[in-house]
Amino acid sequence: MKVLGIETSCDETGIAIYDSEHGLLAHELYSQVKLHADYGGVVPELASRDHVRKIIPLVQRTLNSAQLGKSDIDGIAYTRGPGLIGALLVGSSMARALAYAWNVPSIGVHHMEGHLLAPMLDARKPEYPFVALLVSGGHSMLVDVKGIGQYKVLGESVDDAAGEAFDKTAKLLGLDYPGGPLLAKLAEEGESGHYQFPRPMCDRPGLDFSFSGLKTFAANTIRSSDGQHQTHANIARAFEEAIVDTLLIKCRRALKHSGHKRLVMAGGVAANKRLRASFEEASQVDGFDVFYPSFEYCTDNGAMIAYAGCQRLLAGERTLLTEKAMPRWPLESLSAVNLLAAI
């Protein structure tokens, strides 16, 4: 089965074709980062308008690069939510129009399920069950995953998401939007040990996160610093270490709590090199396996949506053309997929 995947939940237009027999055949991405940089964050109305402009040429380009025509496509998967409603409406309208015109089924995919399943695009795939750490610009969650659609949220952020904390702290350091990767780059020049940031919510039981205090701590530290480049790099380093440590403490707890021996990390922040290195090290010390998508499938993309949609379509699931987009959509409300039917 060949599935065209469409991702438009935020500021990236991602289109891909996933084949249940041969894997990913093509994927294209258009990032609106430059468009929003002047505003220091995503402007929802501008995002929707840009998706409208870019989506058709990108679908065309993806079909061309896979050397496929419309008659080769067996189903359309699109991000149904959560995300910016205007942006979601562009992708879901496009998906429904194509499904209607090409007379194929369509399926609305949960964006975080897309992230969670992104490591399945790799040659080295995790087996079920596992604990998933989902860390993106909009969400931070720990999920017990027994199979596709069998999700129990073990903990989540009570305030800012991890990516949001990166972006806000980066802004305080004078870095452009989205600041996460830029802060990580600056942190590479920093020296450890100059500042001691807190490890929020680690001294009490539970698996929830809180990152807004780290951002406030960073704001105060930056304000009382000399403002030199090296000082900023040292602050970025201490901030990054605090986030990485906090995520690791909670993941170790979640692995213990669930009894699982596999950990999947996904979402934009999973592209962070220090996070990956520190989890690799911990996995060897503690004896668990760690999985993450390749860099390009950590941040938003169409491939993860095409993959997740393909599994659900194979299991016979469909989303009616009359169903609404879901700007808010609890992950736990998804239906379980029969893994024997899905390949």
Q: Which residues bind ligand KG4 (CB under 6 A)?
A: 10, 136-138, 163, 166-167, 178-181, 184, 267-269, 271-272, 299-300
Of 294, 331, 265, the residue nearest 113 (C-alpha): 331
Orientation of helix 273-286 relative to helix 179-189, angle to 10°: 70
The least CB distance from residue 13 to ligand KG4, in Å, is 13
Structure tokens at 94: 């496009």
- Give yes or no for residue 11 binding Zn ion (CB under 5 A): no
Other CB atoms within a 10 A radius of the CB of residue 55 amount to: 20
In the bound state with ligand KG4, the residue whose beta carbon lies nearer, of 170 and 342, is 170
- Give yes or no for residue 164 binding Zn ion (CB under 5 A): no
Environment class of 140 (CB within 10 Å of its CB; exposed 0-12, middle 13-18, buried 19+)? buried
In the bound state with ligand KG4, the residue whose beta carbon lies nearer, of 1 and 85, is 85
In the bound state with ligand KG4, the residue whose beta carbon lies nearer, of 29 and 99, is 29
d(CA 3, CA 16): 8
Q: 148, 41 in Cβ contact below 8 A?
A: no
Enumerate residues 6+ apart whose C-beta is below 8 A from 202: 246, 249, 250
Q: 333, 32 in Cβ contact below 8 A?
A: no
The least CB distance from residue 243 to ligand KG4, in Å, is 8
d(CA 178, CA 164): 9
- Give yes or no for residue 136 binding Zn ion (CB under 5 A): yes
Which of Zn ion, ligand KG4, none does residue 119 bind to, with CB < 5 to 8 Å depending on kind?
A: none
Enumerate residues 6+ apart whose C-beta is below 8 A from 260: 129, 130, 131, 144, 288
Which of ligand KG4, Zn ion, none does residue 180 bind to, with CB < 5 to 8 Å depending on kind?
A: ligand KG4
Cα dihedral sign for 305, 311, 317, 318? Answer: positive
Stretch that binds Zn ion, among 32-40, 49-57, 131-139, 222-230 (CB under 5 A): 131-139
In the bound state with ligand KG4, the residue whose beta carbon lies nearer, of 112 and 310, is 112
Query: According to CB under 5 A, which residues from 281 to 300 bind Zn ion?
Result: 300
Enumerate residues 6+ apart whose C-beta is below 8 A from 155: 141, 142, 206, 207, 208, 209, 250, 254
Stretch that binds Zn ion, among 79-87, 130-138, 150-158, 303-311 (CB under 5 A): 130-138
In the bound state with ligand KG4, the residue whose beta carbon lies nearer, of 78 and 166, is 166
φ, ψ dihedrals at 146, nearest 5°:
-95, -20
Which of Zn ion, ligand KG4, none does residue 141 bind to, with CB < 5 to 8 Å depending on kind?
A: none
Print the binding letters for residues 300-319 with Zn ion: x by CB under 5 A, - otherwise. x-------------------
In the bound state with Zn ion, the residue whose beta carbon lies nearer, of 105 and 178, is 178
In the bound state with ligand KG4, the residue whose beta carbon lies nearer, of 139 and 312, is 139
The least CB distance from residue 14 to Zn ion, in Å, is 10
Under the rule (CB under 5 A), what is the footprint of Zn ion?
136, 300
